[in-house]
Each structure stands twice: as structure tokens, then as C-alpha cells.
Amino acid sequence: MAGRKDTFLLVVLCGNVVMLLAGVALAPETGTANRTDMYSWIQWVWELLLNMSSVVVLAMVVNLLLLIRLVYTRRKSREQTVYVNKDVACYKTPSQDIPTPHLSIFYGTQTGTAKHFAELLHSAAQDRGLMSGVTDLAKVTDPEDTFIEEMDPGSVCVFILSTYTDGQPPEGATWVCRWLEESSTDFRVSKTLLGKLKYAVFGLGSSEYGDNFNMASRKLEEWLQTLGAQGVLPRGEGDQNVAGSRHGSLEQDFTVWSDELLGAVMSCQSQQGGCCKEESTESCQCKGSGNKQGEDKEVQYESSSDEGDSQSDDGDALVDVEDLGAVMNKMKQAKKQRQVEEEAADGGRRKITVKKKGGEPKEMITPALKKALEKQGYRLIGSHSGVKLCRWTKSMLRGRGGCYKHTFYGIESHRCMETTPSLACANKCVFCWRHHTNPVGTEWRWKMDDPQAILDGAMKNHYNLIKQFKGVPGVKPERMAEAMDVQHCALSLVGEPIMYPQINTFVQLLHSHRISSFLVTNAQFPEAIRNMDPVTQLYVSVDASTKDSLKKIDRPLFRDFWPRFLDSLKALSEKGQRTVYRLTLVKAWNVDEIENYAQLVEIGKPDFIEVKGVTYCGESKASSLSMANIPWHEEVVHFVQQLADQLPAYEIAAEHEHSNCVLLANTKFKKGSEWWTWIDYQKFHQLIADYTNSEGDRMFSAEDYMAKTPSWAVFGSREQGFDPQETRWYRKNRKDISGC
């Protein structure tokens, strides 16, 4: 509009100059006038005034016409307005110049979820007759040119962005985000660089990460607004934590937001084409989202009217395009103010909705999670538990050898049930073979199932999986019969089993069925470790020896993960039963920290230290690990030997070459020259029964139920940990993926 005003002033100035020159040209001749004759002078002045007055009148007429033209043009331009209706900002343009709506969908992803959502939005847009395209932010090499090209009147840029470690964007979106950040803070870059860009942002994250929840998408929107871009819809937030999700799951959060977005775009398109039947264009009554909000539905977005602004109580105000930035900034400030008030009312913590209608906690397993886990071979139990058949169970059914726990501790792999009462975990380890489909959390927020129902469901599903091998070539009938009587339970399937509030009751039920318990924890819940009743063998995963490397490898949710880690090791040292450190070696990540590992051993004083090379589980978008990070068995042995040199009370006791695993044991399990790392399971069940009957008075120690290790399992034997009663089976061009 400023440009039009300047043009008008220039035209008026030029017109007046022309009129002045014309007046001078029309002035009467003075050469013939007798300058000494007063009458002649008066006559000449009179003629001059007449000529000039006609020029002035003509100039006034011209100026008036130009002014009328300017007013008409300005009024016409004001017909392009913004309709603000609570949560949707809509553009109305004259019907003779309707831009074609187009969604340019950009996504930044680490595991593929954002890409999946982008494709869903693309498909939904096409179903509604809208033009759309999908672009990976990793492929945007020149953000400035890319976004400037998206400034067409009918174009809306949609950004679907996940948050990775420490609130950072995914690796593929780092360059675009860095450019936006630098441009927004560079005084040389105009703050209206993206002034004509219309955008919408949806973030993917987990509220369990606290202040880092959806940090990447929040920053992205902040940078876009700083550069003048105009939001057409409040930023959407998808929460992977079902307990905190506004609509029950990450997928449902996106579905609701995408419906709002498409409804807004369709509504704008309809308004541009004259969806309102009224002839008047003063206000359009079309709802921006296209859907009427139910009375019991949570308010998704805030607007200035929601914040009690007396100047916009009607909620249907028409706002000039020039004022859109101020309106959106006002909405953003109001939303921030509401968040501050909520945090203050909640003791400084982010307010999270944890209950559904009726006050019931939400279920941990969402439909999308159920589909992903079942695809990986899990059998789900209730709302938060699962069971899966370990590859070593299948192997021993055929007489092809057992897992490393068979070699180290004497379990029968074909009689071992691998399960968990909690699919949720407090870490997202880079080497996790579950590909991060499981939920994450720092405390129990979900609906809780009965432990007896979990055990019954686990055993039922486990036996059904075993039955599927009936008649399979190579399966031994006697092994099939034995497998239908579970003797061991590996609580290490997925997630953090110790998070389950009734974990003690669940373990007691296992023991009542004379099933031994091998419980693995990620060393983030020290109090839960202290409160844990005796188990057959208690593990903590020690994946790194320093704060920085642990953060890099485990990617924990807790901010105080390192104090929790150290306190968990101290809690382990207070347990009287068999305790184990489980170390996973990742080449180029944690193999050069021998002295630091030795210091951690002094803190927890475990009975055993299992050192295992990380297993290659195929490509995972959540991790950058490759075959280059997989250590050879000789490298693992070398690491363990170096570690043993730092620990006078420990020696290498056993190895399982097939699993690339070596066992360090405290010398208290060595009688003379013989190792006693195996477990006397019958003795354990007797001891745990006495403990239970005495209500905890009759405590026992690890030495009370140890058994002699066979020679083939001892380190340095020719068998390298392979049971000679089994038949060695060599696979060709196949990847080995161990489960337990």
C-alpha cells in the first residue's frame, strides 16, 4: 500500500508541474504592452489571472479524479482480508483472482514417522482435491530459494518435524533449521524475507523429555515468524507418550491436527469461490475447520478472544492482511502466557493430561504400537506387556545349541520364556534391536494390568508359539515336551520391567511356579532396585563409563541420568543375591574406557560382568550404527582381558563365541581351579520359598545356590562355550539376531 501512495503523490506532483507550465505558456504577451501605461499593466495582470485560474481549476479536477481512483483502489484492496475464527486464519480474495490451493509438505525424520505422516497428509489432501507435494528436508540444499518459491498466494508450506536427542532436529533437517536460525538472528537479513510465506507446523516428540518436548518444531516456528512468515494454523504437537497425548496417541494427535489444517484450507478455498450465500462480503460465517467442536472435546488452540481480550469478543473479526503478523504474534503471546500460568499452577512442571473420560488412565499399547510390535513377532498381553520367542529357544528345540546364559549359568534355552510386564523404557539406546517402537517414560502413567493376568497371558502365548514348531523338520520331540514346561523367565525382552509397579508380585508368581527369574534393568531406577525382592539373577546394563558416553549411547530421558545411574550401581551392591553388570561393546563408541569401567565395578561390586559385542540387527533409522561398529570376538576378549587386569578380584570365567560374549566372574565363585558360575535352580527355589515363608527374615546369598561350571563352558576350552551335546549349525549369508 505504501508503494501506491508514493505513486499517487508522484502523479499529482507531475500533474501540477505540467499545469503550471501550461499556465505560464498561456500567459498574455508582454512585449507589446506599454509598461508605463498603468491601464495596460492592469489589463495584462487580469488576463494572466484568468488564464491561471482556468489552469488551477483544471488541476483541481485532475487531482480530485486521482484521489477518487486511489480511494477506490484502497477499498478494493481491503476486500482481501483475513478471517480469524479462534484457531484458523483464512484468506479471502476477490473471485476474479482465486489462487489455486497447494500444500508443500516438508518433513524431517529420524525413524520414518514424520515421513509417514507427511505421506498421510499428502494422500488426504489429494482425496479432497487439493494439490500437494512431499519433500524431505534433507534434500533441501538452498532453503532461501526453496521457501521464496513457495510464496505463491495459494501455497501453504507444511512442516512435519520430529525432535531428536537434546531437543535437536533430526540429522536430515539440521541444515534447514540452522539456516533459519542464522537468518533470523542475522541483522543483515530482512525480517520480512519470508513475509509472504504461509505455513503450518506439526511437531513429533514425547512429553517425557520435559522442556525438550517438541523443541525442534517450536524453534522452527519461532524462526519462521521472526522472518515474517504467516501461520495459518496454530502449531500441532504430537505426543508419543500416550499418557500425555491430548488425543490418546501420536497418530491421533496428528489426525486431529491434519483435519483442522485441511478444513482450514478447504474453507479458505470455499470462501474465495463464494461459499457464503450472502452477497455481502463484510464477514464470512464459514467455520475455518469445517467441523463443529463437540462440547466435551478439549480446546485444542487458544486465540486472543480465549485470553479475555475485550476488543475481540465477537471472535469473528475481519483483519486486514497488513495486520496479520500482529494478530498471529498476539495469539502466540497469549498462548505462551497460558502455558506459564498452567506451569505455575502445576508446580513448574508441564501440565500433562493422563486420564481419559471417566478418570481412567490411558492404555500403553496404542493401535499403531500394537501393529508395529506384532510385525516384529511379539505377542501382546493386556495393555502393557508382551512375550516373544527367542531365537535360541528355537535353536535348542532343534538341538543346535543354547544361548550364552546356557553356557554361563546352566539355563535350558528351550525352556526359557522371554517376556516383560512393561513395554515402556526410560532410554532409547542406539543399539536397541527393538528399533524404538516401544513407548518411553520416566514413571508409570498408564492403566495397570493384574500381575496374575500378565503371567497367565505370557505363558499361554509362549506355549502357543512353541506349538507352532510341532512337526518342523529337525525339532526333537523330547525337547518339544520339555519346552511346554517353562523353567526360566528372562525379563529382558523390551522396555524396563522394573517400572511395573507390581513387579515384586509378578516375580513372586514366577517363583511360585518354580520359574527362575533373570531381571534386567537400565540403571535409572535406584529406589526400585532397592525395593526389589530377591530374584535369581539381577542385571544392570552398563553401556558406558562416563556421563557423556552414556548420554550418547543410551539417550536417557532423565535429566539426572548420571546420578541415577551411579545410585543404581550402589543399590546393586546392597543386594545379597547374584548380580551382573551387562556391558555392550560398540566399536568406536565405548571400547576405550577401560579405567572408567573399572571404577564403576568398584561402585556396584557385581558378582559377574557380561561383556558382549553389539549385535548387528540391520538398518535402523533411529541409529547410525553399522557393521563397522560390530567388534570381532577377538576384540571383545582383548577388552575383557584388559578390564580384568584392572580388577584384582575378577577373572575371565567363560565365553560363548557364538554370541560374541565373555564372562568375568568374581573369584569367590572359583573353588581351587574350578569355576562355579552355574546355578543350582532347585536350591534357589528352596531358598526363595524359605525367604517368602519367613516374610523376608531368612535371607540368603549368591554362594548358597551356585553350581559347578562344566569344562566346555570354561574360558579357553576347545568348545568355546558350545555345548558338545548339541549339533553345531552354520548359517550362510544370514544375520544372527539374538534376543536375550
What average pLDDT does range 79-105 have in this prediction? 54
Let me know whether 529 and 632 are in one domain.
Answer: yes
Least confident of 81-90, 109-118, 443-452, 459-468: 81-90
User: What is the rounded distance in angstroms from the CA atom of residue 644 to the CA atom of residue 695?
Assistant: 39
pLDDT tens digits for range 1-14: 445 555 655 666 66
The mean pLDDT value of the chain amounts to 79
The least confident of 111-120, 203-212, 329-338, 364-373 is 329-338
285 is a domain residue:
no
Percent of the chain with pLDDT over 90: 46
Same structural domain, 195 and 116: yes
Q: Residue 87: what pLDDT? A: 42
Lowest-pLDDT range, 263-267, 590-594, 680-684, 697-701? 590-594
> What was the pLDDT predicted at 210?
79
The pTM of the full predicted model, rounded to 2 decimals, is 0.61
Does pLDDT of 91 surpass 80?
A: no
Q: Are 728 and 722 in contact (CB under 8 A)?
A: yes
Residue 12 is predicted with a pLDDT of 60
Which pLDDT belongs to residue 270?
Answer: 59
305 lies in some domain: no
Specify the pLDDT at position 4: 52
DSSP state string for 39-102: HHHHHHHHHHHHHHHHHHHHHHHHHHHHHHHHHHHHHHHTTSEEEEETTEEEEE--GGG-PPPE
Residue 319: pLDDT over 50:
no
Better-scored residue on pLDDT, 312 or 609: 609
Residue 71 sits in the same domain as residue 130:
no
Tell whether 435 and 331 lie within a shared domain. no
Same domain, 556 and 483: yes
Tell me, yes or no, whether 45 and 128 share the same domain: no
Q: How many domains does the chain have?
A: 3
pLDDT digits 0-9 by tens, 184-211: 988 888 888 999 999 999 999 888 777 8
Choice between 141 and 345, residue whose per-residue pLDDT is larger: 141
* Contacting residues for 203 by C-beta, under 8 A, at least 6 apart: 161, 162, 163, 214, 216, 217, 218, 220, 235, 236, 237, 238
441 or 42, which is more confident: 441
What is the average per-residue pLDDT within 341-369? 57
- Confirm whether 105 is domain-assigned: yes
The candidate with the shortest Cα–Cα distance to 583, out of 665, 675, 663, is: 663
Does residue 177 carry a pLDDT above 80? Answer: yes
Q: Can you read off the three cell numbers belonging to residue 440?
A: 518411553
Q: What is the pLDDT of residues 217-250, one digit of tens each?
A: 999 999 999 999 999 989 999 988 877 788 888 8
Which is it for strands 706-707 and 678-679: parallel, antiparallel or unpaired?
antiparallel
Range of the domain at 20: 2-77
Task: Report if residue 173 sits inside a domain.
Answer: yes
Residues 227 and 104 both lie in one domain:
yes
Residue with more model confidence, 273 or 195: 195
CATH code where residue 604 lies: 3.20.20.70
Q: Which of 94-108, 317-331, 552-566 has the highest mean pLDDT?
A: 552-566
End-of-domain residue from the set 48, 77, 106: 77
Asked if the structure places residue 730 within a domain, the reply is no
* Amino acid (one-letter) located at 232: V
For 416, list phi and psi in degrees, rounded to 5. -105, 130
Domain boundary among 345, 360, 390: 345
Domain with residue 232: its CATH number is 3.40.50.360
- If 0-12 CB within 10 Å is exposed, 13-18 middle and 19+ buried, where does residue 189 land? middle
pLDDT at 664 over 50: yes
Q: Are residues 48 and 165 in the same domain?
A: no
Q: Is 508 a residue whose pLDDT tops 70?
A: yes
Report the pLDDT value the prediction gives residue 30, as an integer from 0 to 100. 52
Alpha-helix residue ranges (DSSP H) falling in 302-448: 324-345, 367-375, 391-397, 404-409
- Domain membership of residue 166 (yes or no) is yes
Residue 298 pLDDT > 90, yes or no? Answer: no
Looking at the structure, do residues 37 and 112 belong to the same domain, yes or no? Answer: no
Same domain as 129, residue 49: no
- Answer yes or no: is 721 within a domain: no
Indicate if 337 and 402 belong to the same structural domain: no
Last residue of a domain, one of 77, 93, 109: 77
* Each residue's pLDDT tens digit, 615-658: 544 444 444 445 566 788 899 999 999 999 999 999 999 999 99
pLDDT band at 702 (very low <50, low <70, confident <90, very high): very high
Q: Is residue 368 part of a domain?
A: no
What pLDDT, on the 0 to 100 scale, is given for residue 494? 76
CA-to-CA dists, residue 706 to 413, 662, 668, 674, 677, angstroms:
19, 19, 11, 12, 6
324 and 413 housed in the same domain: no
Q: How would residue 462 be classed by pLDDT, with cut points 50, 70 and 90?
A: very high
pLDDT at 678: 98
C-alpha cell at position 606: 557385581
269 vs 130 pLDDT, higher one: 130
